[in-house]
């Protein structure tokens, strides 16, 4: 096999339905929620709950939420992921003086690991750097990428040399990029509000069992606040997107915003550092749904600060990560 490029990069994010329809959402949720890394309930019990109730009732409501954020380019997550892919490929080609294959895969849905892997194989690379687009490690995200990739490689008679980036929650360029988004928002607005850093939640039980995710999230928040020069009273750290009845990481974003609204808090700015690209959980849940919770409870101004998406300083980070983790290749 020819090997014109020294390595290839496999960018991986969570996934998205192919359309904002109940049918497409049902297919996507069926794959996503069946992963034991995401829901670790006994398989027979969970199969009955998932197929007997959740996939019968949730797809229509979730499809409506997706429809509220869908664009002419399709799913925002897919659109931004493609832009990140193209931007990173251009950066690497410019810095290395030759094309470096960069492919995109989703843990659930399309493009699949198999599709992206086949493209990398056809490009002739024998070494692949796996770049999960999750700054903070969790069993339910980064570990799920590892599992899915391993499953995709099982039929292969010849495996590539692999390296995988576990996390970058405290990388200086990541912290700088996040802080830049906040500074630019405050500059455009002409004033500074209380900063809420909201992260996707996980069951508290996962953390008790050793998942380092909350520790990573807390460190990210501390470093962003430090970079911005904020005092402890000027920022808060919360968790969103809980699912089911068991206790998840606290404090909860929605509960906190409702309480702040009742207190009459005048100005809140919310960012979501765990999301590398805007998606349903940021554009619908945070920017729309939680805004309503805050305002209807009596709160004042509410602003969502977009994810890093395809900003130049985010691509700076991705390029740095690739350079760092491909040393010797």
CB atoms within 10 A of CB 232: 8
For tokens 């990173």, the residue is 88
Largest CA distance in the chain: 65
Q: Any binding-site annotation on 281? A: yes
Per-residue exposure over 88-126, b if at least 16 CB sit within 10 Å of its own CB, e if not: bbebbeeeeeeebbbbbbbbbbebbbeebbebbbebebb
Q: 8-13+85-165+318-325 domain in CATH 3.30.70.20?
A: no
251 preceded by cis ω (within 30°)? yes
Residues 28-51: pLDDT tens digits?
A: 999 999 999 999 999 999 999 999
Q: Any binding-site annotation on 200? A: yes
The length of the chain is 329
For tokens 């969970």, the residue is 46
pLDDT bin (cut points 50, 70, 90) of residue 3 is: low
CB atoms within 10 A of CB 67: 13
Q: 172-304 maps to which CATH number?
A: 3.40.50.1400
At residue 1, does pLDDT exceed 90? no
Tell me the HSE value of 7 on the side-chain side, using a 13 A CA sphere. Answer: 20
Residues 89-120: pLDDT tens digits?
A: 999 999 999 999 999 999 999 999 999 999 99
Q: What is the arithmetic mean of pLDDT over 149-175?
A: 96
DSSP 80-118: HHHHHHHHHHHHHHHHHSS---EEEEESSSSS-HHHHHH
Decide if 277 contacts 76 (C-beta within 8 A). Answer: yes
Q: Distance from CA of residue 82 to its chain's centroid?
A: 14
Cα–Cα distances (Å) from 186 to 59, 60, 78, 93, 210, in that order, read: 37, 37, 28, 35, 37
Adjacent-strand bridge partners of 236: 196
Q: Whole-model pTM above 0.95?
A: yes
At residue 250, does pLDDT exceed 70? yes
User: Torsions phi, psi of 181, nearest 5?
Assistant: -65, -35
Give the helix/strand (H/E) hosting 143.
Answer: helix 142-153
Residues 212-245: pLDDT tens digits?
A: 999 999 999 999 999 999 999 999 999 999 998 9
């Amino acid at each position: 096999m020819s090997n014109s490029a020294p390595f290839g990069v496999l960018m991986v994010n969570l996934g998205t339905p192919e359309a904002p329809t109940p049918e497409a959402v049902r297919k996507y949720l069926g794959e996503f929620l069946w992963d034991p890394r995401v829901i670790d309930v006994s398989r027979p019990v969970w199969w009955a709950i998932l197929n007997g109730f959740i996939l019968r009732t949730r797809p229509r409501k979730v499809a409506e939420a997706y429809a509220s954020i869908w664009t002419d380019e399709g799913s925002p997550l897919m659109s931004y992921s493609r832009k990140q892919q193209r931007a990173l490929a251009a950066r690497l080609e410019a810095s290395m003086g030759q094309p470096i294959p960069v492919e995109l895969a989703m843990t659930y849905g399309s493009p699949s690991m198999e599709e992206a892997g086949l493209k990398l194989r056809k490009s002739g690379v024998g070494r692949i750097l796996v770049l999960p687009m999750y700054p903070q490690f969790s069993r339910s995200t980064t570990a799920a990428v590892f599992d899915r990739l391993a499953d995709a490689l099982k039929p292969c008679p010849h495996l590539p040399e692999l390296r995988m980036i576990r996390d970058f929650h405290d990388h200086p360029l990541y912290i700088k990029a996040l802080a830049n988004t906040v500074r630019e928002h405050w500059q455009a607005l002409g004033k500074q509000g209380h900063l809420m850093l909201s992260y996707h939640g996980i069951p508290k039980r996962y953390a008790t069992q050793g998942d380092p995710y909350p520790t990573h999230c807390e460190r990210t928040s501390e470093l962003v606040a430090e970079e911005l020069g904020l005092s402890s009273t000027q920022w808060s750290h919360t968790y969103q997107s809980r699912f089911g009845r068991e206790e998840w990481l606290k404090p909860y974003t929605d509960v906190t915003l409702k309480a702040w609204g009742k207190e009459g808090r005048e100005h809140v700015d919310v960012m979501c550092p765990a999301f590398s690209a805007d998606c349903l959980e940021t554009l619908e849940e945070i920017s729309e749904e939680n805004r309503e919770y805050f305002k209807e409870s009596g709160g004042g101004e509410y602003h969502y600060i977009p994810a890093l998406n395809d900003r130049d300083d985010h691509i700076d980070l991705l390029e740095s990560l690739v350079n760092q983790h491909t040393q010797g290749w």
